[in-house]
């Protein structure tokens, strides 16, 4: 694999996909946007943490991968509680980017992508505070 790029400000969680292995979602947003909170809700549904808040994201063989920097591996910030241990994956293929914001989004948006280390992945805009945010992420990754 190639050397990792500079740390990317994103929380990364992955879901096991039968026949495909672990497929990761990169959650982007400013501090306090709800990246860790949405990750916790997905983890409660069986997803696994890859990295909280910062991740090394890099391309290899035309695919995008993410892993945690060693200094934060296996830990997630639980707002109001503190940093807690979490069962984490060492590496996962990233197949979806999600931009988190409280701003309203198009009901039926045109497809968008985000390019990371030369690899284009689908981009979803989402309000992480909606009760259905986890289901929306799961529905989006199931289409890939």
pLDDT for res 4: 46
3-state secondary structure of 125: strand
pLDDT for res 108: 87
φ, ψ for residue 110, nearest 5 deg: -70, 145
Query: pLDDT under 50 in the chain at which residues?
Result: 1, 4
pLDDT for res 7: 78
Nearest Cα neighbor of 93 from 11, 5, 13 is: 13
pLDDT for res 134: 96
In terms of C-beta distances under 8 Å and separation of at least 24 residues, what long-range contacts does 119-122 make, across chains too? Answer: 119/59, 119/62, 119/63, 119/64, 121/26, 121/64, 121/94, 121/95, 121/96, 121/97, 122/95, 122/96, 122/97
pLDDT for res 107: 84
Contact indicator for 97, 111 with CB cutoff of 8 Å: no
- CATH architecture, domain defined by 11-142: 3-Layer(aba) Sandwich (3.40)
What's CA 4's distance to the chain center, in Å? Answer: 17
């Amino acid at each position: 694999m190639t050397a990792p790029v500079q740390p990317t400000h994103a929380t990364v969680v992955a879901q096991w996909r039968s026949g495909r292995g672990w497929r990761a979602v990169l959650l982007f947003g400013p501090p306090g946007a709800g990246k860790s909170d949405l990750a916790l809700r997905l983890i409660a549904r069986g997803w696994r943490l890859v990295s909280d808040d910062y991740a090394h994201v890099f391309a290899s063989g035309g695919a995008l991968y993410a892993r945690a920097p060693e200094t934060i591996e296996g830990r997630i910030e639980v707002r109001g509680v503190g940093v807690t241990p979490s069962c984490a994956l060492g590496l996962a293929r990233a197949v979806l980017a999600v931009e988190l914001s409280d701003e309203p989004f198009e009901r039926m948006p045109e497809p968008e992508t985000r390019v990371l280390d030369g690899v284009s992945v689908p981009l979803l805009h989402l309000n992480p505070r909606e009760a259905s945010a986890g289901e929306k992420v799961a529905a989006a990754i199931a289409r890939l």
